[in-house]
Amino acid sequence: MVGHLLITREIHVVGGAILRDARCLVARRSGTMPEAGRWEFPGGKVEPGETPVAALVRELREELGCEVRPIDILGRGRAAQPDGRRILLDVYEAELVSGVPRAREHAELRWADPTELTRLAWARADVAVVHVVVERLGRGRQPGARSPSGDG
């Protein structure tokens, strides 16, 4: 008799908290995505052999059509999905370097202030980091914040 083996795949994803004028750019998941209609920090999967920082730059270029510079890691979230997968999400503060963010894959984009951030219906993995982003917006970028690549 063969026993049942439950395999839980953990998928490493990254999200970008692009901050500007005391607001954060957030994205509402489209109807074709898991957790449709919920809000998230835009980003996506880290590919094999790719660093999280490189994945963030690539994903935001693909999803939003803009270039960003990751500044600092803000936090980590985890969530189980209905299909058995587990999401491990690293959220980075990011600076918009060029381009105008456009919703290429999401239902909508919004620049949200701290109050609005606390009222949105968030995707499960993103929930754990929302309070960190709200705090960061409340105090502004701290002098001497390190670059995730260690060069700034």
In this predicted model, what pLDDT tens digit does every residue of 23-77 receive, in sequence order? 999 999 998 877 879 999 999 999 999 999 999 999 999 999 999 999 999 999 9
Averaged pLDDT for residues 119-126: 95
For residue 53, the enclosing domain spans 10-139
pTM of the model: 0.84
End-to-end CA separation in angstroms for the chain: 58
The answer to whether position 18 is within a domain reads: yes
CA dist 8 and 99 (Å) reads 38
Answer yes or no: is 97 within a domain: yes
Domain harbouring 81, CATH code: 3.90.79.10
* Per-residue pLDDT band at 8 (split at 50, 70, 90): low
CA distances from 131 to 112, 114, 118 (A): 13, 9, 8
* Cross-strand pairs, 23: 20
Asked if the structure places residue 99 within a domain, the reply is yes
